[in-house]
Amino acid sequence: MHKHVIYTLLFLIFCIASYFLSSIILSQIKQRHEHSLLLSRSEKTVQEKKQRELSIKTIMQDNRVPEDVQKTLLRAPSTQTFTMILALYLAYRNHIEEVYWDDEIQDFVLVLNGKRVALANGRLIFVERVLEDLLNYTPVMYPYRLSPLAEIYDSIPAVDETIHERLRSTDIQEALTMIEDVSDLIHVYFLGVKIRIHPLIKESLLLVNEEINALAARDKEIKKFLDSLQTISSYSNRKIKKSRNASLHSFGMAIDFLHPNYDYKSVYWQWTRVARPKVWRKLPFDDLWLIPQEIVSLFEGHGFLWGGKWSSYDTLHFEYRPEMIEYAKVRKRLLE
């Protein structure tokens, strides 16, 4: 009986010891595994960082960015900031007098016609506004997508009607244009219509005109669409409807395709809001009046955005924003 108790106790001691020993071994294995994972993630992060730095340098070299400008742009505190400032530089390099990092406001500054415009996380506002009322402005640089609308429509958010209540700066247009009055604008013929535009967009718009005419000469559907238009408009000194913000039409830097009835489809979110109050925020794709994708691509290829890709859709509208096209291109290359 005494031996049986001793054996039982020894067995219990063995089981307890085995349990604790197993726990220690398992803990060590777990710690080693976690350490290995951390090292793997760390190595992956380092590799990704090196690859991104290489991509950044390659993009700048491919676009022939001067070395002194490269050094300045590489001061960007984040990839997003770098992408924005590089896009602005590529879009307006022939108009930029200087680009530098301002230690006082901790931001990039572009000098255009003697006026200083701060990046301000995509707000693009005069430096003095950064010091006074930065947070009153909403960013005017955002991820614009170059894919056809049919491919991305489902991922575009519904209309946020408050968007036009926010202040959107046109400071960079003011710095670029230097228009004293309407007499500084010029007349050109675009698709056979005489319109008034800013001289800054003349070269790009005439290239679009040439390419659309060439396309229409070989594509009957494109010619049919162009023939269906009532007219085309550009300069109009006005604000965006129900907004404090200036329209780019007031700079002669936007183009509208006007149609007699838009095939009885929806064109502009504010008009649809009145006509179809239950569904205006996000319409079925087939309910929109659309400009052919081939024409949209030609405009985008020369620095124009199409309002059909905005959540606050305006499918008859194009505006000259080459920095946004460059922004889309650079973002795509960095994500590849």
93-102 pLDDT per residue, tens: 999 999 999 9
18 versus 145: the higher-pLDDT residue is: 145
Residue 316 has pLDDT above 80, yes or no: yes
Residue 80 inside a domain? The answer is: yes
Q: Residues 33, 38, 43, 44: is their CA dihedral positive or negative?
A: positive
Who's near 130: CB < 8 A, 6+ residues apart? 105, 107, 118, 120
**41 and 75, same domain (yes or no):** no
**221 and 308, same domain (yes or no):** yes
Residue 279's pLDDT band (boundaries 50, 70, 90)?
confident
- In the chain, the amino acid numbered 199 is P
**326 and 250, same domain (yes or no):** yes
**58 and 70, same domain (yes or no):** no
Q: What is the mean pLDDT of residues 80-84?
A: 95
Flag the least confident range among 69-83, 176-190, 317-331.
176-190
Residue 4 inside a domain? The answer is: yes
| DSSP helix, strand, coil percent of the chain (3-state; round to 5) | 55, 15, 30
Out of 27, 42, 62, pick the residue that ends a domain. Answer: 62
> Whole-angstrom Cα distance, residue 168 to residue 182?
23
Residue 141 inside a domain? The answer is: no
Going by C-alpha positions, the residue among 205, 203, 168 that lies closest to residue 94 is 203
**254 and 323, same domain (yes or no):** yes
The answer to whether the CB of 138 falls within 8 A of the CB of 168 is yes
145 versus 34: the higher-pLDDT residue is: 145
Residue 39 has pLDDT above 80, yes or no: no
The pTM of the full predicted model, rounded to 2 decimals, is: 0.83
What is the pLDDT at residue 36? 57
Residue 144 inside a domain? The answer is: no
**119 and 54, same domain (yes or no):** no
What is the pLDDT at residue 22? 65
**127 and 154, same domain (yes or no):** no
Residue 95 inside a domain? The answer is: yes
Residue 104's pLDDT band (boundaries 50, 70, 90)?
very high
**243 and 116, same domain (yes or no):** no
Q: How many CB atoms are closer than 10 A to CB 246? A: 17
Q: What is the mean pLDDT of residues 58-78?
A: 93
What is the pLDDT at residue 108? 97
Counting residues of the chain whose pLDDT is more than 70, the rounded percentage is 82
**243 and 219, same domain (yes or no):** yes
**182 and 313, same domain (yes or no):** yes
**190 and 251, same domain (yes or no):** yes
What is the pLDDT at residue 56? 87
The number of distinct structural domains making up the chain is: 3
Out of 62, 85, 113, pick the residue that ends a domain. Answer: 62
The answer to whether the CB of 120 falls within 8 A of the CB of 168 is no
> Whole-angstrom Cα distance, residue 159 to residue 133?
26
Mean pLDDT, the chain, whole residue set: 87
Q: Supply the range of the domain harboring residue 120.
A: 66-136
Counting residues of the chain whose pLDDT is more than 90, the rounded percentage is 62
**168 and 312, same domain (yes or no):** yes
Residue 182 inside a domain? The answer is: yes
> Residues 64, 66, 69, 71: what is their CA dihedral angle, to the nearest 10 degrees?
100
pLDDT digits (tens, 9 = 90+) for 294-308: 999 999 999 999 999
Residue 142 inside a domain? The answer is: no
